[in-house]
Chain A
Amino acid sequence: MIEAINQILNGLQLGLVYALIALGYTMVYGIIRLINFAHGDVFMVGAFVAFLSTVDWHLPFWVAVPLSMLVCAVLGVTIERLAYRPLRYAARIAALISAIGVSLLIEYGGSLKFVFGPNYRVVPQPFSIVQWNFAGISVSNIQLIVLVTVVILLAGLQYLVTRTRIGKAMRAVSFDHDAARLMGINVDAIISYTFALGSALAAAGGVLYSTAYPQINPFMGIMPGLKAFTAAVLGGIGNIPGAMLGALIMGQVDVLSAAYISSQLRDAIAFTILILVLLVKPSGLLGKSGPEKV
C-alpha cells in the first residue's frame, strides 16, 4: 500500500512534467490546428540550455531556468515564422511535414559535435537531494520543487488565458482566424505569442525533467514529447484543462504500468489506453464533440 502511494507520487511528478509539454502541443493545435512535432525537441533544447549554462558557463540555477525558457521562446517563435507561417494557407499536411522536418533538424543539428554533441550527458544536481519520510511515504525536495513550479506556471497560464486581453485574443484566434482579424486582433502576433508561451513552458519542463531524470541527449525529446502529445489528445486536443488531466493520467499510466505490469510493455499500455479512449470518446476526455468540418 505504502509502496503504491510512493509510485503514485512518482507518477504525479512525471505527469506534472508531461503537463508542461502537453500544454504547448494543445495551445498550438488549438490556434493553428497543427501537430507541432518539433515541440518535443524544444523541450530537449530547454534541458540542454540549462545544462550548458550551469555546467559550462557557471550560472546559478535560478538564472539558468529563465534563460532556457527565454531561449526556447525565441526558438519557438523562429520556428513558427520560418517553417510554419509560409504554409499557413496550404493544406494542413504540408505544415505537418514541415514540422517533421524541423524536428529532424533540431535533433540532427543538436547531435553535431559543435552544438550539443551526440552523447549522453549526466546532469549534476543543482541542489542536494533531501528525502523526507512520513510513515514510509517518502517525498523528495525535487518532487516538491516540480510540484510547486508546475502549479505556479499552470496558474499563471490559466490567469493569462482567461483573464487578460491577450488571452482573450488567443481564444478568439483559436475560435476563428478571420473573425478575429476583423475585430482588429493581430493574428500573426497572437500566433507568435502562443508559440513563445508554449515553448517557454516546454523549456521549464525540460529543466525539471533533466533534474528529476538526470541524463540528457539530443534525442531525449522524442518519447516524452510523444507521451505529452498523447496526453493532450487523451484530454481533448486544443483544450487546456484537458491537457493537464491527460498528462496526469499519462504520468500515472507510465509509472504504474512500469511498476506493476511490465516496464518493457509500458509504452504499449499507454497507447492502448489512448486508442480505447478515442474509440469511446473520439475527441478526447474533455474535447468538444461535434461534426468535423473538412
Chain B
Amino acid sequence: MNAKKFTTGLPLVLLLAALVFIVRELLGVTEILNYYWQLILDQSLIITTAAIGLSIIYGFAGQFSLGHAAFFGLGAYTAGLISKLLGHGNYAVFLLSLLAGAAVAGAVAFLIGLPILRLRSDYLGIATMGFGIIVKVLMDNSNKWIPATGGATGMTGVPQIAKFPVIFVVFLLAVLLFRNLRLSSFGRAWMAVREDEIAADAMGVDTTRTKTLAFVIGCALAGVAGALYAHRYPIVHPSSFDFLKSFDFLIIVVLGGLGSMSGTIATGISWVFLLEILRAVLGQNFLDFRGVIYALTLILVIILRPKGLLSGMEWQALIPREVPESGPSGSPSASPSAKGETPNVSA
C-alpha cells in the first residue's frame, strides 16, 4: 500500500497568512493602524497562541484545566529573565529564550501533569487552579530567590524586541503544529480520550501518555506565548497570570466551541479586540461599565450559543482530508465533516 495522500489545504492557509501579513505591514507603514492598535493586534495573536494550547488540552483531549495562565506566566518569566540578564537585546538570545520559555512551561506541565492528570473533570480543574494559585504566590515572592524578577512589584527591563513578524510566525507555527497533530495518531487518541476514556483505554490507547502529551504541548504553547508577551509589554507582573486570567483562556476556548480550532482562533482574536473597542467606545466617563457590559455579554452569549459561537464548525482548510484513490480531486463526502466532529465534552 502506498502512503495515503491528503488534500492538505496547506497552500491555502499559507496564502491567507501571507496576505494577512502583507495587509498588516501596509497598514502599519501607512499608519492607518496606529501604534496602539498594533499593540492590541500583537496582544490578540499572543493570547490566541496560548488559547490554542488550552484548546488542545481541553477542546481536543478533554482535560479540564483552570491553570493555563500559570504556564503562560512561567514562559514569560523564564524568557524575560534570560533576555534581561543575558540577552540585553540580542536577537539570537531572544529566539533562544522563546524556546526556553516553551521548554520550562512544558517541563513543569510534565512534572505536575504526571500525578494530577489522573484526576477527572472538575477535580482536575480544581487541582490545576490550585497549581495556578501556587505559581502566582511563588511569582509574588520570587524576588527573594531571584532579585531580577521584582517579585510582587513586577519585572521591568526586558528588552522590547518582539515585533509583529515574529509574533505572527509563532502564531502560524502553533496553528500548523496543531493542524498536523490532529491528523496524527496523537490527535485521534486525544479525541478518543475526550469522548470516552475507558473505551479509549480498552481500544489500546495509552491514556496516560495521550493526556500528558496534550497537556505538555498545550502548556508549552502557553509558555512560548508568555515568552513573546514578556518581550512585547514593558512590565511582567504576577497579577497578569492569576487564576482569573486562566478563566479568560477558558472563556475563549468554550465560546469558540470545544473541539473547534477555527473557533478558538476567531474567538481569541475578536475577544481581545472587542474588549479594547469597548474601552474606546465607552470613553473615560463610562469606563466603569466595561466590566458590567463584558459580564452581561458573556452570560448572554453562553445562554444563546451554549455550544460556542461557531457551534463546533471548522474551517475546512484546517482539516487535512484523505484523497480517494480513484478520484482526482478530494470528494467532500469522504471527509470527516465538521458536523460529525462536534464533541460531547462534559466538564
Binding site for B on A (CB under 8 A): 33, 35, 83, 86-87, 90-94, 96-98, 100-105, 107-109, 111-113, 118, 226, 229-230, 233, 237, 264-265, 267-268, 271-272, 274-275, 278-279, 282-283, 292, 294
Contacts and interface: CB of A to CB of B under 8 A. Distances in A.
A278 B116 CA distance: 8
17 contacts: A35-B126, A93-B345, A98-B298, A101-B298, A104-B294, A105-B292, A108-B290, A111-B291, A229-B126, A264-B140, A271-B131, A271-B133, A272-B130, A274-B127, A279-B116, A282-B118, A294-B346
B254 interface: yes
Interface of B: 64, 115-116, 118-123, 125-127, 130-131, 133-134, 137-138, 140-141, 196-197, 243, 247, 250-251, 254-255, 258, 288-292, 294-296, 298-299, 302-303, 306-307, 344-347
Given A93-B347, A278-B119, 20 more contacts: A35-B125, A87-B306, A91-B346, A91-B347, A93-B64, A93-B346, A100-B251, A101-B296, A103-B295, A107-B291, A109-B295, A111-B288, A111-B291, A229-B126, A264-B137, A274-B127, A275-B116, A279-B115, A279-B118, A294-B121
B299 A83 contact: yes
B176 to A, nearest CB: 27
Contacts of B127: 274-275, 278
Among A97, A226, A278, max chain B CB count under 10 A is at: A97
Contact of A101 (B125, B290, B302): B302
A237 B122 contact: yes
A81 to B, nearest CB: 12
Contacts of A274: 126-127, 130
Contacts of A104: 291, 294-295, 298
A91 B345 contact: yes
Contacts of B140: 264
Contact of B299 (A101, A265, A292): A101
A97 B123 contact: no
> Chain A interface secondary structure, helix, strand, loop or mixed?
helix
> Chain B interface secondary structure, helix, strand, loop or mixed?
helix
A267 B196 contact: no
A83 B302 CA distance: 9
Nearest to A272: B134
B95 to A, nearest CB: 33
A100 B298 contact: yes
Given A101-B298, A268-B133, A92 B346 contact: yes
Nearest to B296: A105
Given A35-B122, A102-B295, A230-B130, A86 B303 contact: yes
A10 to B, nearest CB: 21
B289 A278 contact: no
Nearest to A90: B306
Given A113-B288, A268-B137, A275-B116, A98 B302 contact: yes
